[in-house]
Structure 1
């Protein structure tokens, strides 16, 4: 696959996972300074890694949520909560991911993750 193919595959995957509205906003905010970085993300994160056949999107979302909790990347965590639901994870499964993360990433991080998830996903106790 060449860079153009990776970009096209990445853009399609990015839109499916994050939602077209988010990707459209990100694209509209591109500047001369950030264009290369946005292309890099689209080609490699989305076109190279997220499109690989070894894991399904549910698993990739679970891993991504855990990594974002571990690193404290909270705005990305909020974005990927909605993506995880779009990828088929239930609210209960997301809660289990956050709980599991408490053991390996720390209770304070998981506590904050639960707080953000409650806000992003709502307090409707949806499974």
Structure 2
């Protein structure tokens, strides 16, 4: 039996604060992309960034960034790659390290995913170089 009650996400203040700190470190608060539903965004901030990304005891933020990039390369997720390449650069992860990761991942996910990821990486790096001038 379905009810006509609208479900809303219940916010967690501590997780939201941690999530916003991670997003700030990644530089995601500086440049907004396509808007998404507010409840979904709250969930991403609190659960993904406030809970998962903030668990730096075993895997630090740079390692999480590279892990995330490797998954996005394998899945060929262009929009998310653009955002996370920016985040990696904001964390001072070198372009050369990211290129090496792409080379490694593309042997498992397919050469076309590596070609696409390299093109996106070059575009993002060029764009960020222009922004910093």
Per the normalisation by structure 1, the TM-score is 0.83
Alpha-carbon displacement from aligned partner over 1:16-43 (angstroms, at most 9, x marks no partner): 2133222xx36x946xxx1110110000
2-11 vs 84-93, which deviates more? Answer: 2-11
Cα distance in 2, alignment partners of residues 65 and 115 from structure 1: 14
1:39 aligns with 2:42: yes
Unaligned stretches of 5+ in structure 1?
none
1:95 aligns with 2:99: yes
Tell me the number of residue pairs that the alignment of Structure 1 and Structure 2 aligns.
117
Partner SS state of residue 30, structure 2: helix
Please identify which structure carries the higher helix content. Answer: 1
Contact 1:18 1:79 in 2 (8 A): no
Cα shift at 1:14: 1.0
For the pair shown, the structure with the greater C-alpha radius of gyration is 2
Unaligned stretches of 5+ in structure 2?
1-10
Alpha-carbon displacement from aligned partner over 1:77-125 (angstroms, at most 9, x marks no partner): 011111111122101101101101111111000010011111111399x
**Are the structure 2 counterparts of residues 55 and 29 from structure 1 closer, same or farther at C-alpha, using a change threshold of 3 Å?**
same
Partner of residue 109, structure 1? 113
Partner of residue 21, structure 2? 12
Alpha-carbon displacement from aligned partner over 1:48-68 (angstroms, at most 9, x marks no partner): 011002211111111111111
Contact 1:81 1:117 in 2 (8 A): yes
